[in-house]
Amino acid sequence: MKKEIHPKGYKQVVFKDMSNGYSFLSRSTASSKETVKWEDGNEYPLIKLEISSTSHPFYTGKNMLVDTAGRIDKFRKRYEKKKEIAK
């Protein structure tokens, strides 16, 4: 294995899945200005995730739609306008 290719400075970080609220503590080099108090009473940097293994359809076996930017609403509005024009 090559030397000096892995990052240094791993620290404890809390990752939070914003689609279902699930959080877990892990080691990472990621940094964040936000912090959160964890179950052990310590504060750790908070990294927000849009999707994780607890909400991803592949891992859950459920077809769940995650709409973080209102894309579905935008599509429906566009589709309704085209539908009205076609009448």
pLDDT at res. 48: 93
> Which letter, b or e, does each residue of 30-57 get, where b requires 16 or more Cβ atoms within 10 Å of its Cβ?
eeeeeebeeeeeeebbbbebebbeebee
pLDDT single digits (tens) 4-48: 888 888 999 999 998 888 999 999 999 899 999 999 999 999 999
Q: What is the CA radius of gyration of the chain?
A: 20
